Structure 1
């Protein structure tokens, strides 16, 4: 009888446990359902600040690839993706966790990261989902597309608020691998980012809603309220360390070692200025290895627009310089800059030329060159000699050309696609499309087409966005609102 009772008890126990709801078994007790905002911040910084791209280097005529036909080099790209929306969802999580734990500093940083990722998206495509983009929890799976003009306006306003919130916050920033929790440096980055965005709107000087010049001057003329970067120590950059997943992204990269050569027009630009940064960017061409390392005649490039067969022939003949060895054999190499002091000085120089601010354009310009050369570890005496050269001085009436050339040099292997967007905005320096390798009817593209997933899953809204922006349809040569003069 006791055995029977025990059997019945065990049966009932199993039956009761079997009545647990299905959802109970969907939760893994060994996996956390919450993350601290500082952990999420570290991950966001790794994603946002690790932005070194050989594709951007091909498209911007710094490098050529002799391994295969690069769509970036030959201007034959088509669609990009919405990966940054995944990053934006992580920003939302950081903000949510900060609210849950009553930490006010992280929502301010959240505004910066929102601005950062949304800016990358809109510069890629034009109009994008913005207001409704992160409302999947409210079952908005087909978000409407906002106009680029409204996105820029909202981003600038958010950055202004972020600067103010950080100034007033007494909370510590934990998990910060960029500035080690220094709020003043974050404010300098945020305000410098605002100036970059405003300068990207140089075609919109006449837009009475944006008030580009007024916003720019407000920041520059109020350093207490809007502090800016003061030197290279304020650079927004990711410092690499010799640990797994934290090394320079092209360390031990086989293609970087064997197939990455410098582009001819870039080499010629550096040679024309007798720029010692060439010796930091490139190896001597094999044909000239007997010449001193500091002999400009020992370096050569190949046309990014030439066919791969032509460039391979030049490489085999030893006439072309490979990228410097440090880019593939040094696990630390140099920090990855996403926005730095040198760029700020070139922005201020351009603003002075345009009459947006007072100040000496030449002084800003030379500070930008000096900061770039110091980052490249050029000796101070060589910097002084370089800045004294007649060829380096700004020419009256051609100041912007001089500024853009030096800004272009300073972006080598850093700042992601920003250099391409600068050239798209200004037309300088001119990217060579003369060779037989260039596709896209020998034109430099203006944008990327929307992802295929949007066509399949959000057809109505993406079609509306395409129709109002690009009369010829979704194509890589469409001119977005940002580039239309007002």
Structure 2
């Protein structure tokens, strides 16, 4: 009896343990969790991430704005490390590729090629060499990917972008979930090809590299519009519109610090005043002193800025005395405001103007330069009559615009938009000059050339990180080190 009872007890325990295990396993599977996500939902998410390029940090670093509530590292050029957060976006890109294959919708795979290129370029120009070929291989137990050399990254990206455009010309099926171009494959091809030219121009220091063939690639696109359509007007702009809907409003809407601590930068305002540029009235408010003096909104003397390189206490005093213009109130009062720009027709025209001035293409730089100015001014709501007056200004117009003139106009066109693009343009060309003459600039009075690698890499991928640093930077992981991209 004792043996029988003992056996029954053991069987009961085993049965109960099996039941409990089954219940635990059941709990691991959430019946409400989606195992498959339609590619159109992933596309919308990627678009909102890539096209929302409104950046106060970039505006401070590019001498468009000044901050007065403390010593800002972007303004005073004392930043250190950045992060690898864009790899989270790349995970979504990879997922969209899988969903495109599952659903038999190849257009989403083509768009994934573009977003893959976009996020990778954004990271490599921040750091230098980064993981690419072995990135996102955690499912294969690769948690410490090797770093690709920057040149190889660019070679792969250029091929990816070209392939993306070619595939979209063949697979023009309806693209749902597209909040940028409403599913228009031709417009996407225009954007991708225009972005391709931006990437090529960013390699302007590498025209002698026969592997890259920068100039011949550039000419191939410009001289074959049937095969490589480009943005043809402001209506083609690659922009993310904002709406007065919760979760879709302009990112600076009701931003408290924007209302109290952000002012226009002096060298930027002075340039607009010298050129008699009416875009100043769209960017800024009159100084409190000008308001007290009843100066008109359209009076250039009503505007002034704070030197971005001046010590904080000096700027605080000037702002307190009513000597400085704050940013235009529309940036924090209008929930829709202007859209985020990934790349615009105006930027493309300035790209072509610079390429012409470098004799990469045979067309005249003047026409592209003028078209870029017109497109930018229309974007900011400047009237046609004011545009005509502006284009008669001898300080603006030129039959042979210099690189400085072209980059100055690009700088104006990218006010508080297009992310850090203008900083990288300055790093590449030296134009426009960013003021570092004041006593507030840190980093020994220098403008950094990059960001240090994420701290997590020191503990999670140190061997490959050390190898990449030694390969690129004899001085070590330093913000003033020159990466391959900008090395002559």
TM-score tier (shorter):
over 0.9
In the alignment, what sits opposite 2:182? 180
Distance in 2 between residues matched to 1:170 and 1:437, nearest whole Å: 54
Q: Does 1:281 align with 2:283?
A: yes
Q: CA shift at 1:395, angstroms?
A: 6.9
Q: Does 1:365 align with 2:369?
A: yes
In the alignment, what sits opposite 1:335? 339
Residue number among 207, 227, 230 corresponding to 2:229 in the alignment: 227
Q: Is the partner of 1:338 in helix, strand or coil?
A: strand
List alignment gaps of at least 5 residues for structure 1: 1-9
Q: Does 1:387 align with 2:391?
A: yes
Residue number among 311, 315, 331 corresponding to 2:315 in the alignment: 311
Distance in 2 between residues matched to 1:333 and 1:100, nearest whole Å: 38
Distance in 2 between residues matched to 1:462 and 1:399, nearest whole Å: 40
What RMSD over aligned residues (CA atoms) do the two structures have, in Å?
1.5
Distance in 2 between residues matched to 1:47 and 1:113, nearest whole Å: 10
List alignment gaps of at least 5 residues for structure 2: 1-11
Q: Does 1:462 align with 2:465?
A: yes
In the alignment, what sits opposite 1:426? 429
Q: CA shift at 1:32, angstroms?
A: 1.1
In the alignment, what sits opposite 2:153? 151
1:226-255: CA deviations, max 9, x gaps? Answer: 000011111111000001111000000000
Q: Matches of residues 261-280 of structure 1 in structure 2 within 5 Å?
A: 261-280=263-282
Q: Does 1:413 align with 2:395?
A: no
Distance in 1 between residues matched to 2:398 and 2:436, nearest whole Å: 27
Change (3 A) 1:415 1:187: same
Q: Does 1:54 align with 2:56?
A: yes
Q: Does 1:214 align with 2:213?
A: no
Q: Does 1:438 align with 2:441?
A: yes
Distance in 1 between residues matched to 2:224 and 2:322, nearest whole Å: 54
Q: CA shift at 1:22, angstroms?
A: 4.5
Distance in 1 between residues matched to 2:189 and 2:172, nearest whole Å: 14
Distance in 2 between residues matched to 1:124 and 1:138, nearest whole Å: 27
1:290-325: CA deviations, max 9, x gaps? Answer: 101111000000100111110011101111000000
Residue number among 323, 326, 345 corresponding to 2:327 in the alignment: 323
Q: CA shift at 1:17, angstroms?
A: 3.4
Task: Provide TM-score, normalisation by structure 2.
Answer: 0.95
In the alignment, what sits opposite 1:7? none
Distance in 2 between residues matched to 1:109 and 1:443, nearest whole Å: 39
Distance in 2 between residues matched to 1:11 and 1:142, nearest whole Å: 44
Q: Is the partner of 1:413 in helix, strand or coil?
A: coil
Q: Is the 8 A contact 2:197 2:351 kept in 1?
A: yes
In the alignment, what sits opposite 2:255? 253
Q: Is the partner of 1:34 in helix, strand or coil?
A: coil
Change (3 A) 1:78 1:166: same
Distance in 2 between residues matched to 1:400 and 1:187, nearest whole Å: 28
Distance in 1 between residues matched to 2:431 and 2:445, nearest whole Å: 17
Q: CA shift at 1:19, angstroms?
A: 3.9
More displaced stretch, 96-105 vs 121-130: 96-105
Q: Is the 8 A contact 1:287 1:319 kept in 2?
A: yes
Residue number among 11, 28, 31 corresponding to 1:29 in the alignment: 31
Q: Is the partner of 1:92 in helix, strand or coil?
A: helix
Q: Is the partner of 1:64 in helix, strand or coil?
A: strand
More displaced stretch, 385-394 vs 21-30: 21-30
Residue number among 119, 142, 145 corresponding to 2:144 in the alignment: 142
Distance in 2 between residues matched to 1:470 and 1:14, nearest whole Å: 62
Q: Is the 8 A contact 1:395 1:402 kept in 2?
A: no
